[in-house]
Amino acid sequence: MSNKVPVGVLGATGAVGQKFVTLLENHPWFELTELAASDRSAGKSYEQAAAWRQYKPIPQPLKDKLVKPCEPTLDCRVVFSGLDSSVAGEIEESFARAGYIVLSNSKNHRMDDDVPLLVPEVNPEHLALIEVQRERRGWSGAIVTNPNCSVIGLVMALAPIHRAFGVKRVIVATMQALSGAGYPGPSAIDMLGNVIPFIGGAEEEKVETEPLKIMGALDGDQIRFADCRISAHTNRVFVEDGHMACVSVELERKASPDDVARVLAGFTSLPQELKLPFAPGRPVIVTGERDRPQPRLDRDAGDGMSAVVGRIRECPVFDIRFVVLSHNTIRGAAGAAILNAELMKAQGYF
């Protein structure tokens, strides 16, 4: 019998859910034993219910597994939620109330005062909010969230810079992959030879606020948001995976491009120390090639868990500018939630 922690996936048939299933195959600590989805899918085998769209096939033991409804009667204590935000709010709460640890990729609770918006390399100490959450809400479980897929690369680059030099103002323009829109996402005819300079669901607002919470300081039972301002332009481009961002940063303390490159390349943190299975060796990889990062060539760096930063140079308006790329469905979604769970496990939360 396996010593692994049994875990479940909520919304297992969707795009994020399928990514969870793929990434959790052969995980050294977790064993995926429960698949839950909407009533439409519940009662079917996973193979029947999921319109499978990953490059790797459905893990053999899960093919015939029965999909259950998203009710807190799953036989596991930890669940990963890839639920759509239209339903995630209530379902995730019902699980947390019933004692489950919910690792959520949905936006619903990210900005709640008492919910950690966690990037293990950046703000592991925010897990302390769980106590606040449990006390306030009377829950035995907990909800822990990861950031939006367009935020993660930006914040992984900004956080070490913020710590070293202080970030005051940021203007960022993103070029985001199709997979960030879920499946089926944008129509081919809309994207052919085109760029769409708008992403629905308040994408720009997320880019402008989530980093402030993530880079914020834990102060008693609350997070003091980082005192910086961000302006985001978000664009959809014809790329499969990998969100890229062009970033200009105003700093508190002057720093040269070399200073910044050194800080980013040397950045390492708790997940690396703890050797968490999904922790990349280097959270931020700095490239010196003049035309990198590029989505197709660099998104899989660190098995999709590293952010790649290139073109670090002086900004004639602010202080520093660079390009950052991260894999939106791995580090920006399912992989992020798994790393969050690993940190919690390592710290004894379950």
Nearer to its own copies, 59 or 185 (CB): 185
Question: Six-digit token pair at 247?
Answer: 């970033």
61 sits near its own copies (criterion: CB under 8 A) = no
Restricted to residues 253-312, the positions that interact with its own copies (CB under 8 A) are: 290-297, 300, 310-311
Q: State which residue, 102 or 244, has the beta carbon closest to its own copies.
A: 244
Tokens representing 261 are 């490159």
Using CB under 8 A as the binding rule, whether residue 169 contacts its own copies is answered as yes
14 scored as a contact of its own copies (CB under 8 A) = no
Q: Which is nearer to its own copies, 84 or 208 (CB)?
A: 208
Shorter beta-carbon distance to its own copies: residue 170 or 276: 170
Active site residue 243: yes
Cα–Cα dist 284/159, whole Å: 11
246 is catalytic: no
Q: How far are the Cα atoms of 152, 194, 200, 246, 286 from residue 233, in angstroms, in the given order?
A: 15, 16, 12, 10, 23
Residues in the chain: 350
Residue 195 CA to residue 322 CA, distance in Å, equals 21
Nearer to its own copies, 116 or 211 (CB): 211
Q: Are strands 320-326 and 307-314 parallel, antiparallel or unpaired?
A: antiparallel
Nearest distance, CB of residue 166 and its own copies, angstroms:
16
Q: Which of 33-41, 74-82, 139-147, 165-173 is the region at the interface with its own copies (rule: CB under 8 A)? A: 165-173
Residues 6+ apart with CB under 8 A from 303: 278, 280, 330, 335
- Which of 70, 149, 162, 228 is an active site residue? 149
Out of 103, 170, 212, 255, name the contact with its own copies by CB under 8 A: 170
SS3 207: helix
**310: Cβ–Cβ under 8 A, 6 or more apart, which residues?**
286, 287, 288, 289, 292, 293, 322, 323, 324, 325
Binding mask 111-140 for its own copies (x = CB under 8 A): ------------------------------
26 Ramachandran zone, left/alpha/beta (phi>0; psi -120 to 50): left
Size of the site for its own copies (CB under 8 A): 54
> Is there binding between residue 206 and its own copies (CB under 8 A)?
no
Position of tokens 């005051």?
168
Give the residue numbers marked as catalytic.
Answer: 149, 243
Interacting residue ranges for its own copies, rule: CB under 8 A: 55, 169-171, 173, 175, 178-179, 183-198, 208, 229-231, 233, 235, 237-240, 244, 246, 248, 290-297, 300, 310-311, 315-318, 321, 323
